[in-house]
Amino acid sequence: MDLKFDFNHVMLLPRECVVESRGDTDVSAKLGKRTFRIPLMAANMPSIIDETIAIELAKRNYFYVMHRVDIDILQFVAKMKSLGLFTSIAIGIKKPFHDLIDKLHAEGLVPDYVTIDLANGHCQRTKLMIEHLRSKFGDETFIIAGNVATQEAVIDLESWGADATRVGLGPGYVCTTSPRTGFGSRGWQLSAIADCAKVAKKVIIADGGVRSSGDIAKAIHFGAHWVMSGLFFTGHKESPGEVVVENNVTYKTYYGNASAQCKQSNSRIEGRSTLIPVETSLYDKLIEVEEDLQSAVSFSGGTKLEDITKVDHVFIR
């Protein structure tokens, strides 16, 4: 049986440092036609991202995916374009989203990035949506599809026309898919990343399961090009989650897209809600992540992010 592993089962091994300062390293990451400051993106969750944060992230050259819950996506795309900022949206696969694509096309609004957001993205309806997007926007729109956790799924999504694949089924901090269904990559997310990266010819986005900047470095080492997270973007004064004060401690609510709080329903729940203490500014946190990744690159004996893929690792199970 193939033994699987996760972030806490691995450590990366350092090499001789070749830079005078960690500030001399490059931790930028390309996605489509653009290059961003770090390979970390905000998850498309209402408790993580809203229009205000999307605008600020775009202005500061961080990538985001706007959520699709009870918002006017067409209006959002129009506003971002009016501000001269890149547009990145999430959509589903049902008819209203096909209609949305038609409306965007009719208005001449071409989104720069579209994430097809499904719990299990390995399905024919994902293929149909990719085909619909391509028929309207051609290669002008960078398509992210998911979520998946197997090599077969990555091969299919890429062959259907996806530019990037989100890897991760249920490893997120507020996701309960795995305990509720018995399926997913919880407990072996890093293995899932490694397995999927072996067959991928395009971009791999590791979605969920990271708890620290070091986990981002490990994901990159095992083949991810990008990491998506909600946890890194919550617990900040700018976070859109509801403010809760208990025992003189200020918290923000953090909940999954499949939680009862987000769905406003108790049907088919695969997420939970929790409270995260408010500690730092979001943008201070992102600078901290950037500096941590620069340190990681310096430990790799290289000068750029991809050098992290070249080091050795040990298993510490």
Query: Which residues are known catalytic residues?
Result: 175
Please give the order of strands across the beta sheet that includes 273-277: 243-246, 249-255, 273-277
Per-residue pLDDT, 265: 42
Model confidence at 167: pLDDT above 70: yes
Q: How far apart are CA 139 and CA 141, in angstroms?
A: 5
Q: How far apart are CA 43 and CA 115, in angstroms?
A: 11
* Top-confidence residue, 186 or 145: 145
Q: How far apart are CA 26 and CA 239, in angstroms?
A: 28
Count Cα neighbours of 252 within 13 Å in the Cβ-side half-sphere: 22
Q: How far apart are CA 192 and CA 166, in angstroms?
A: 11
- The class (CATH top level) of 7-315 is alpha beta
Query: What is the pLDDT averaged over residues 8-31?
Result: 97
Distance of CA 178 to the CA centre of its chain: 19
Structure confidence by residue, pLDDT tens digits, 60-76: 999 999 999 889 999 99
Query: What is the pLDDT averaged over residues 76-86?
Result: 98
DSSP H or E run through 74: helix 73-82
The band of 272, judged by pLDDT with boundaries at 50, 70 and 90, is low
pTM of this structure? 0.91
Model confidence at 137: pLDDT above 60: yes
Per-residue pLDDT, 260: 40
Nearest 10 degrees: CA dihedral of 257, 262, 264, 270? Answer: 40
